[in-house]
Each structure stands twice: as C-alpha cells, then as structure tokens.
Structure 1
Amino acid sequence: MANFNTHLNGAFAVSGTLSLVVYKAGLVNDPGFLMCVALGTVGGLLPDLDSDHSTPIKLGFNIAALVFAFGLVMHWRNELSLIALMALWLAGYGFMRYVVFRLFTRMTVHRGVIHSVPYMAILGLGLTCISYYGWHNTLTASWLYGLFLFGGAMVHLTLDEMYSVNLSGMTLKRSAGTAMKFYQHKDKGWYLLLYTLLALLIYAAPPFTAFWEQLRDPAPWAQLKVGVLPAFIEDILY
C-alpha cells in the first residue's frame, strides 16, 4: 500500500489543482478555496483511521485529546481550583488518548469497513449537511466541501489499489482489492448499517439539483478561458 507521504502529497496535489479550477470559475471565495484544499488533503488521510499505528490516527487522537481536555477546563474553570483544573486536564487528555484510543483500535481492523467507499461517502455527505444546515454556508460551498473530502479519500483508495500491483512482474499483491471496497460479506452487518446511514444522509442532504444546475451553467466556466496561459504565450498562439 502507499505510505503516509504518498497519500498526503497525492491528495494535496489533486485537491489543490481542482480547488484552483473551482476558485478560478468563481464557485468559491478565498476562504472557500483554502477550505477545499484542506478538506481534500485531510480526506486523503481518512481511510487509514482504522490502522492502529498510522500517523493520521495517532495525530488525530492527540488533537482530539487536547481539544477534549481544553473543553473540560474551559467548562469548569470558574468552579474548580488551579490544582483541580490541572488534574482535570491530565485526566481528560489521558482518557481520550489512552482509553478511547485503545477501545477504538480494538474495535477496528485495518482495511475494514472504515477503509471503504460507503464509509467515506458518509463522511462527505455528513460534512455537506453540517456545512449547510449547521454552519449556514452556501449550497455550492457545502456540496464542494463534502465532495472534496470524499474526493481526497478516493485518491487514497486509488493509490492503495495502484500500489497493490507489482509492475515488475505484472502481478497482483495480496492487498489487491482490499482498498476500493463497496461490500464485504464477512462484515455484512456493518455494511448494512453503513448503507442505511448513507440512504438517510442522501435523503437529508441539501438540494443537489440546484447545485448541479450551477455546475452546468457555462458562465462560471467561461472565466477559466481568461488568463489560463501567461500573456506572452497567448500572444504567440493567438
């Protein structure tokens, strides 16, 4: 399978390129452009959350533990003494970093249901719903955020499948077919839950037709023709 740097660089390259396209077309503003790049890059690391020793899961739980501990301290800052707050901070961090992390790693198997297309689709659609209904972003921005997160994850899964091919002997490694999964019979119960959640999110998602119509509108894409090439090259060609 591809390593951490390959996933990170691949997702960043793809999401950065596509973000520039939608930004140049005027579909997102400056913060939206940066958000699309960031979400696409993060999406490229998400499928490895089921790996006990992967960099994304360790980094993610470290950040989550710090945020959880900080939230506890902020909530109880007026009721507890300094010593008690310090103890609460350490207890909150330790609970997330060691107890919750250990439970999570025991419940998940690398390249299991998390490392699958429907799981990543749930994360993408979930982000779209949160962005539109919770953060009150525009319809276009909300769908693009979800699609970039999902797209980054697809880059990850594609790279893993590409690395499962032994090019020197043109043979498949044992890992072939374990990355880009839609279903596994041994986890049929989990996949039933995943597809149920996915159906509910599709039902609750913001209107896709209006977003699709905006993408089909030729006006935004006409802007891409302006300034695509440096001026001196356009002078030579035209």
Structure 2
Amino acid sequence: MANFKMHLGVAAIGSGMVATLCLGAGLASVQEVAILSLLGTIGGLLPDIDLDHSTPTRLMFTALGLLLAFLAMFFKAAHYSVLELWLVWGATYLAVRYLAWRMFSDLTSHRGIFHSLAAALFFCFLGTAIAYHQFDAPRLTAWLVGFFLLLGYIIHLALDEIYSVDFENRRLKRSFGTALKLIDSRHLNNSGMMLGFVLLLFFMTPDFSPVTDALSNANTWQQLGSHLLPQGTWFAL
C-alpha cells in the first residue's frame, strides 16, 4: 500500500488541480478554492483512520478537529460572544480529536469498511450535510465540499490498489482488492451499518439541482475555456 507521504502528496495535488478548475469555471471563489483543496487533502487521508494509534491517524484526527473547530467558530462569529466562540472551538475540537477517534478505533479494523466506496459516499454526504445545515453554505458550495472529500478518498483507495500490483514480477499482491471495493464483505455487519448511514445522510443533503444546473450551463464551460489557457503572453501582469 502507498505510504502516508504518497497519500498526502497525491491527494493535495489532485484536489488542488480540480479546485483550480472550479475557480476557472466560476464555481468557487479564491477563498473557497483553498478550503476545497484542504478538504480534498483530508479526504485523501481519511481511509486510514482505522489504523489504531498510528502517527498518521493522530495527525488526521488532529487536523480534522482543528479544521472543523475553526470552521464552526468562524461561521458562528456573527452570532456568539468571544467566550462562546472559544467554547464552540474547544468542544468541536475535543469531540473530533478524542471522541470520534475513540469510536473509530473501537469499531473498525484496517482495510475494512473504511477502505470502500460505501465509506467514500458516507464522508461525501456527511461533509455536504454539515456544510449545508451547520455552516449555512449555499447548496452548490455544500456539494463541492462533499465532492472534494469524495475525490480525495477515491484517490487514496486507487493508490492503494495500484501499489497492490507488482509490475516488475507481473503479479498481484495479496492486498489486491482490499482497498477499492464497494463494501467490506468480511464484516457484513459493519457494511450494513455503513450503508444505512449513507442512506440516512443522503436524505439530509440539499437539493442536487444547483450542481446539474451549473454543469449543464454553457456559460460554465465557456468561462472555464476562457481561463484554461493564457489569452496572450504567458505570465503577463
């Protein structure tokens, strides 16, 4: 399987490139591009949250806790006092860093349900629902949040499958097929629970029509085409 640095680097590059396309198409602002790139990078690390007590796992939950804590504080800044914002930040961070980490540690095994497309959809719908309901993000932006988590997640799974192929000896390693799978057939109870959460979260996501409207709008593609290549001298100010 690919190591932590490989997952981090490829997810960061891939999500950054796609986020830049969203900027060129007018689907995201400069500030949103930075957040989406970060979310895609985090999505590229999420499948390994089932590695108990490992350094990457602690780093992932720490980074996720900090991100969600700051987002929760910023989006409530207009409504709460400074003391209340500090409490929101602290409660969010502690819930993610320790409570969520402990729950995942107790309920999961490595290369289990979290190395599956079902888990990728779980985080996609979860991110979309949180962005829309908790942070009052527009429907299109909320779906972009979920999409970038999904993108990073699938990049991770694909990398693990690629590293399961020994190209020099032209053989498949025993780990082949354990990463990029629909569900975890070894633990059907966990798979059934995950699919139930996916269905529940799907009904909590906002209307998908803004996404289809943006993708079917000719102006979106025209704007992307006009920003894809330089319109004169390269790097001209």
Under TM normalisation by the shorter chain, which class is it? 0.7 to 0.9
**AA partner of residue 123 (structure 2):** L
User: TM-score with structure 2 length normalisation?
Assistant: 0.79
Unaligned runs of 5+ in 2: 70-82
2:29 pairs with 1:29? yes
The structure that is helix-richer by fraction is 1
**How far apart are the structure 1 equivalents of 2:127 and 2:106?**
26
CA drift of 1:47 comes to 0.3
Deviations 1:170-206 (A, max 9, x none): 1100110000121233311111111111112222211
What per-residue deviation string (whole Å, max 9, x for no partner) do you get for residues 218-238 of structure 1? 1022112224333147xxxxx
1:47 aligns with 2:47: yes
* 3-state SS of paired residue (1:17): helix
Structure 1 residue 29 displacement after superposition: 1.0
After superposition, where does 1:3-82 map in structure 2 within 5 Å?
A: 3-62=3-62, 64=65
- Give the Cα–Cα distance (whole angstroms) in 2 for the partners of residues 185 and 148 of structure 1: 26
> What is aligned with 2:202?
202
What is the CA–CA distance in structure 1 between the aligned matches of 2:137 and 2:62, rounded to whole Å?
29
- Post-superposition offset of 1:54: 3.7
Matched letter for residue 130 of structure 2: I
Q: For 1:204, what is the secondary structure of its paired residue?
A: coil
- 1:80 matched residue in structure 2: none
Q: Distance in 1 between matches of 2:100 and 2:145?
A: 28
CA contact (8 A) 2:43 2:149 kept: yes
- Does structure 1 retain, via aligned residues, the 8 Å contact 2:129–2:204? yes
Letter in 2 for 1:20: T
Alignment-derived partner of residue 220 in structure 2:
220
What pairs with 1:125-136 in structure 2 (closer than 5 Å)? 125-136=125-136
Q: Deviations over 1:147-175 (max 9, x none)?
A: 00111000000000000000001110011
Partner residue, 1:153: 153
Is the 1:127–1:146 Cα contact (8 Å) retained in structure 2? yes
1:140 aligns with 2:145: no
Percent identical residues: 34
- C-alpha contact (below 8 Å) 1:25/1:220 kept by paired residues: yes
Distance 1:21 1:123, change over 3 A: same
Further displaced range: 172-181 or 49-58? 49-58
Contact kept in structure 2, 1:48 and 1:54, CA below 8 Å: no
Task: Tell me the CA shift for residue 53 of structure 1.
Answer: 4.8
- State yes or no: 1:117 paired with 2:143: no
In 2, Cα distance between equivalents of 1:5 and 1:148: 19
CA–CA distance in 2 between the matches of 1:22 and 1:115?
27
Q: Which residue of 1 aligns with 2:164?
A: 164
User: For 1:8-45, what per-residue CA distance to the aligned partner results, in whole angstroms no more than 9, with x for missing partners?
Assistant: 11101110110000111111112211111000011000
For residues 124-160 of structure 1, the C-alpha deviation after alignment (integer angstroms, 9 at most, x for no partner) is: 1111011112211111111011000111000000000
Q: Where does the alignment leave 5 or more consecutive residues of structure 1 unmatched?
A: 69-73, 78-88, 234-238
Q: Distance in 2 between matches of 1:122 and 1:46?
A: 11
TM-score (norm 1): 0.79
Question: What is residue 73 of structure 2 aligned with on the other side?
Answer: none
Instruction: Check whether the contact 1:46–1:56 (CA below 8 A) recurs between aligned residues.
Output: no
Q: Aligned equivalents of 2:228 and 2:170: distance in 1?
A: 39
